[in-house]
Amino acid sequence: QQQVKQSPQSLIVQKGGISIINCAYENTAFDYFPWYQQFPGKGPALLIAIRPDVSEKKEGRFTISFNKSAKQFSLHIMDSQPGDSATYFCAARSSGNTPLVFGKGTRLSVIA
C-alpha cells in the first residue's frame, strides 16, 4: 500500500530525444507527487511536483503527466541533454507532516 513502483530501472536516450519514466502507486491517500533528480554524491533535488487536481504540469523541458484513475504518473524530459544524465526518483506522500515514499529510481543516461 505504501509502495511506489518505478520503471524502467535504467534508460539510455539519444541527445534531443524524449525520456519517459513511469511510476504507479496504490495508496489513494497520496496527494502530492514530486520528482527528484540526483547526481552522484549529491542529495535529491526537487525537479517538479504535481497534485492530483491537475492531469499535467509543465516546467521548461520537464512535464509530469498524472492519471488519477489509473494511479499512475510519469515524467517526460523533452529534448534530453547529456547534463540531464542522473538518477530520477518519483515519490509520493499524503497530506500533512507525512514522509515521502520513494520509488527505486531510474538511472538516465543521455548520449550524444
Residues that bind another protein (CB under 8 A): 32, 34, 36, 41-46, 49, 89, 91, 95-105
Angle value at C-alpha 55, between 90 and 9, nearest 5 degrees: 25
Given the complex with another protein, which of 3 and 72 has the nearer CB atom? 3
Given the complex with another protein, which of 2 and 14 has the nearer CB atom? 2
Give the DSSP H or E segment for 44: none
At residue 83, φ and ψ (nearest 5 deg) are -70, -10
Shortest distance, position 15 Cβ to another protein, whole Å? 26
Shortest distance, position 55 Cβ to another protein, whole Å? 20
Shortest distance, position 78 Cβ to another protein, whole Å? 23
How far is the CA of 69 from the CAs of 5, 52, 72, 92, 101, in angstroms?
16, 10, 8, 16, 20
